[in-house]
Amino acid sequence: MSTPQNIPFIEAQDQEIAACIRGEENREANGLELVPSENYISKAAHEALGSCFTNKYSEGYPGARYYGGQEFTDQIERIAIERACKLFGCKYANVQPHSGAPANIGAYYGMLKPGDTILGMDLSHGGHLTHGHPVTHITKSFNFVRYGMKNPDTGEIDFEEMREVALREKPKLILAGFSAYSRELDYQKFVDIAKEVGAYTMADMAHIAGLIAGKAVKNPFDYGFDVITTTTHKTLRGPRGGLILIREDADLAKKIDKSIFPGLQGGPHMHAVASRAVAFGEALTPAFQEYAQQILKNAKAMEKVFLDADIRLMGGGTDNHLLLADVFGSLNVTGQEAENVLDEVGITLNKNSIADEPRTMFDPSGIRFGTPAITTRGFKEEQSARVAELMIEAMKNKDDQAVKDRIREEVRDLAHAFPIPDSFV
């Protein structure tokens, strides 16, 4: 078991909240997290997150704050920026966004004017809400047009369609990135089309930032992308937060800084910035590169089990940390049913729409799962494949309590054999 959090003051003062914390610790310790956007942070990053920096208001940027008493906040933010730039091979970074959505929105306003056109991936083909879904407020400010996959069973992006849309709509920004897409992108084609129409290029790498930092997949900056946005959790294995990286354009970096503050946010959460700095330091170690490579190996091991069981995987498989399975089409189990039964046996993932979804988003055909968190626990290919086998068995026997009880015991045994580590270095 990982070391429980020391919370004597909460336990003495607020029993209800203490019980919730202990309950969540117990859930995490006894089950397996497969949500691709979830991971564990180290105790060191956790300590920084709970540090005295939460007391300090730090509107502005290092050397240009609006309040006094900023000696150590400036040091923390400069360290975080330096480490982020080193990780991703760029000249400028903004470490202040509270999460991934503000990072994207801040980047849009830094690069564009209201009414400008953005070309991004269709949500139903793997894109993200902030890439132009009509339910979001950002669509009131910018005109979003979309591209998608040519074939959902191979994951191939329809670059001919993308080019046609770009030539017709003249976007000011072409956006690469996804929340439920399992293949590696051809960044050069994005850059070529952007140059043809005079657009910026931005990669939303929230899901695979850790794989980029760990040199396990390609870096969009190596192909000339202007901006990368990301979250700092998921594969990057830090606390929840956002990050904007600018390859080399100093003027663009200044515009994006101004867009984040004062344009979008007030003071940064300096305790979170301190924790991100710790996580960036961990990601600069050789051990993190090994971790990133193992994420891919584990995902491939799970891919094989699902394909051998004749379960349809969107994109035909995976090149990264996640898989999206059409369980309704393959097993006649809805995404919601699958999520529920897997919760029962201690395996946590999320229901997810598939391309050209025939059902509703609230009870879709698919499930989305991935390997960042189990890899943090030390899982290798053998254990990852076994988890995939248990998932399929549970879904096929969703109404058999005896089978589910047996699987639950094995999941608990696996979780205990591979406890959440306290340290990554």
Report the catalytic residues: 57, 59, 204, 231, 234, 240
Residue 363 to residue 353: CA distance in whole angstroms: 8
Query: Which DSSP category does 118 fall into?
Result: E
The H helix count followed by the E strand count for the chain is 16, 16
Residue 186: is it exposed, middle or buried by C-beta count within 10 angstroms (0-12/13-18/19+)?
Answer: middle
φ and ψ of 64, to 5 deg: -145, 60
Residue 12 to residue 7: CA distance in whole angstroms: 9
The answer to whether 207 and 191 have CB atoms below 8 angstroms apart is no
Which residues lie below 8 Å from residue 311, measured CB to CB, with a gap of 6+? 325, 326, 327, 330, 331, 392
Which residues lie below 8 Å from residue 295, measured CB to CB, with a gap of 6+? 210, 211, 216, 235, 321, 371, 372, 375
Query: Which DSSP category does 289 fall into?
Result: H
φ and ψ of 105, to 5 deg: -65, -40
Q: Of 178, 205, 145, 213, which Cα lies nearest the Cα of 314?
A: 178
The answer to whether 344 and 32 have CB atoms below 8 angstroms apart is no
The answer to whether 263 and 114 have CB atoms below 8 angstroms apart is no
The answer to whether 194 and 111 have CB atoms below 8 angstroms apart is no
Q: What angle do CA 76, 260, 186 make, to 5 degrees?
A: 95
Residue 340 to residue 277: CA distance in whole angstroms: 36
Query: Which DSSP category does 262 fall into?
Result: I
